[in-house]
Chains A and B, each alone.
Chain A
Amino acid sequence: MRRTVLKSLLATAVMAATATMAGLPAAYAADKEIVIGGSIPMSGVFAFAGIGIHAGIQDYVRMVNDAGGVEGYRLRYVPEDSAYAVDQSVAAFKKITSQNKVNFYYGDSTAFSKTINPELERAGSMIMSGASFATELNDPEKFPFQFIAGPDYTQQFGILLRYIADEKPGARVAFVYSDTEFGRDPIASSREVAQSLGLEVAIEIMTPPGAVDVSTEMARLRRARADYTIFHGYILGPIPEFISQARQLRLDTQFMGTFWTMDNSTVMQMGELADGFMGVMPYSYYYDDSTSAPMLDKIREMRPEYQSVPYIQGFLSAMLYAETARRTIAAGQEMTAVNLKTALNSIENFDTGGLIGVPITISGNTIPVGRIYRADIQAKRMVPASDWIVLE
């Protein structure tokens, strides 16, 4: 009896292992569906963003399917945790793509986007976007089947610098960034942008990753007498330390940040130091009711509690995947990478339902739009400080 049970258990295990290794498809029909795969960082250092991205994609997929799908096709979302490690992200990609006919893919990092690029070109069957806003990816020749659902880091700097040039022509600007690929990304190119806008880059300060003591850097920043200080390459630390020391020294500079610093919860973690902190945000905040935003209304209806900006980014990514698929199917074309990318690039003056406050156009690999927000510590919210800025 015991042997029979053991044998059947063993047989089941062998069958399950064989089925998994051979990558047998799931039991449901694979036709008439659009598959969105994703290496999502649900654990690890980037989990704070991954959880939001996951919820955003999931909600949009559910919403579209509840409304009948896209041109008769159902969306299917297949996520895997990547733990924000390239080897695990690639493993997730291989697993998902070998078991599903994937049309769109969400990647978790710049390193993954670069690593998987030859694979995307070889497969020729899907396009990809992700959590990376790296300037390098904004090259349709090198990355023909990828896009960024927002402005790249240089464009985010461009939006900030455009705002500064309008507010205070000829202002002195400081760039403070981390010594990482992420931190260094927009610095060299933004130097030229500042110059073209008539701004002076007073100082560039690079800090080691994870720097805590910034007193030396602060002394240099003080001597530079910058009107505006832009942080990049950080989530939060060491920004509060910089602001705290600047307040003690009565330094008159306006601190600003880029996307990954600008989530409401991240900024509000700074407490009193956050008051007046500004930055660029490509999307409307969850609570933004300054203009009519039907899609934000739906999100608020589905999830009454605050949703982070990575959630909005995930939601918008899924929306762009669906719109791209819709255009490809409507044109009677096969969903190949080339056709999907052509359909994506045909998106012009597209209404995102208020996720981005102006109609968007995707001519290359990015959506070069953003808005400047300012932290209101009393209301514990980010409030608009400018209109939407669209880069040419």
Chain B
Amino acid sequence: MRIGTARSSYRHDEALFDSRTQYAWLAILGVALLGFPFVADEYWLYLACLVAINIASATGLNILTGYTGLVSLGQAAFMGIGAYTVAAFEQKFGTPVLLNLLAGGFVAMLGGLVVGLPSLRVKGLYLAISTIAASVVLHFVFANWHSVTGGHSGITVAPAEILGISFDTSFRLYWLFVPITIMMVIGAANLFRTRIGRAFIAIRDRDISAEVLGIPLLRYKLLSFGLSSFYAGVAGGMWAYFFRVVTPESFPLLMSIFFLAAIIVGGMGTILGAILGAIFMTMVPEALKLIVGWLPLSTDATLILSPVRTIVFGALIVGFLVFEPLGLQEIWRRIRRFFHLWPFRA
């Protein structure tokens, strides 16, 4: 706890942010997010949208894996359900964007509830394998349910349209995706101040003890799967509006590993961890490209440095895991702690 933030009421104790400094920084972040689209070019706006989608999905996986302790490698497949639902709703019914996204979330949630059933019996790696199996089944459904998914060719999605405004550029999509992601992140942060969220944490820490305390494991594990899949479904829906083509190959197993890596690198079981992890995993490959681009090298060097970049990215992930197992959020926390007393204590 930082100096000068003695909690004198339960309300204060429950608050998400407890100091004026934090509110000031939040305001700065808000202004930065509002101003960003007006100073950034299409490339940076594209990356911002991609980061927003990845944060939404990583936050969902964090609810399941980071907070409830259930390892899942099915996040990409749940995103696929959301993306296909949005694509099909958009193509067949032309329903409003926000309704489509919600539908994507709910259909993915149903998928998550089914896939989550084995979680009562199996844990850890066994559960991970069962979620991989579910991904394979879903991939088969995506590829072969021609009338809905369009088979291997997939579905082309029309641009999102709200009040006659077509969201066909990264600039416009930014104003759709970033608020949705912020709402989802705030929702997740608040979840862990409720009975449900605390039940998830209890299950993660020791599921037998949680049951003894009166937490029905099946209900809460399924709820965690459902919520996580809902997040993935909405993220998948945003993905569909972003890339505008959904095929069975759009959501490979590697993508699930990407999200798992994101929450591990960011810091499992913290809201900030999922955010930092998603930013890290999305931006570091691009940042490395930028660094290579700044070097006064020929295009031949770009070719030579491409595999080197991949190695550096891998080494960075391993480095974080070795030197900071609690993830980027712990580094962030240490930096914050340093500045709490700065400059009075170096």
Interface residue ranges, A against B (CB under 8 Å): 16, 18, 20-23, 42-44, 47, 51, 54-55, 58, 77, 79-81, 83, 86-88, 90-91, 94-95, 97-99, 111, 114-115, 118, 122, 136, 179-181, 184
Contact = CB atoms under 8 A, between A and B. Distances in A.
Interface stretch (B3-11, B38-46, B111-119, B191-199): B38-46
Interface in B11-49: 39-44, 46-47
A106 to B, nearest CB: 13
A44 B314 CA distance: 13
B138 to A, nearest CB: 15
Contact of A21 (B40, B168, B247, B300): B40
Nearest to B157: A118
A334 B46 CA distance: 28
B245 interface: yes
- The 4 A-B residue pairs with the shortest CB-CB distance, nearest first, are A23-B41, A42-B306, A95-B43, A181-B152
Nearest to B292: A81
A16 B294 contact: yes
B153 A43 contact: no
B299 interface: yes
A97 B42 contact: yes
A115 B156 CA distance: 8
Interface string B222-252: 0000000000000000000001110111100
18 contacts: A22-B41, A23-B44, A42-B306, A43-B309, A43-B310, A47-B307, A58-B300, A80-B302, A81-B302, A83-B306, A88-B286, A91-B50, A94-B42, A98-B42, A98-B43, A111-B247, A115-B243, A136-B153
A21 B41 contact: yes
B12 to A, nearest CB: 36
Given A91-B47, A98-B42, A43 B245 contact: no
Interface string B285-309: 1100110001000011011001101
Given A83-B285, A111-B247, A91 B43 contact: yes
Contact of B303 (A51, A83, A118): A51
Contacts of A95: 43
A86 B303 contact: no
Contacts of A97: 42
B143 A42 contact: no
B325 interface: no
Given A88-B286, A181-B247, 9 more contacts: A43-B309, A54-B299, A83-B306, A87-B243, A91-B43, A111-B249, A114-B245, A118-B159, A118-B244
Contact of B243 (A43, A54, A90, A184): A90
Contacts of A47: 306-307
A86 B309 contact: no
B245 A180 contact: no
Contacts of B149: none
B68 interface: no
Nearest to B285: A88
Contacts of B40: 21-22
Interface residues of B, number: 39
B270 interface: no
A105 to B, nearest CB: 14
B170 interface: yes
Contacts of A42: 302-303, 306-307
Contact of A94 (B39, B170, B248, B306): B170
A111 B299 CA distance: 25
Contact of A79 (B249, B250, B302): B302
Given A16-B294, A114-B245, A90 B46 contact: yes
A114 B157 CA distance: 11
B152 A81 contact: no
Contacts of B300: 58
B294 A83 contact: no
A239 B156 CA distance: 33
Contacts of B309: 43, 81
Contact of B307 (A43, A94, A136, A184): A43
A214 to B, nearest CB: 20
A115 B219 CA distance: 40
A16 B41 CA distance: 14
Nearest to B143: A179
Contacts of A81: 289, 302, 306, 309
A81 B96 CA distance: 37
A176 to B, nearest CB: 17
Contacts of A21: 39-41, 44
Nearest to B159: A118
B152 A79 contact: no
Contacts of A20: 290
Contacts of A77: 299
Interface string B261-291: 0000000000000000000000001100110
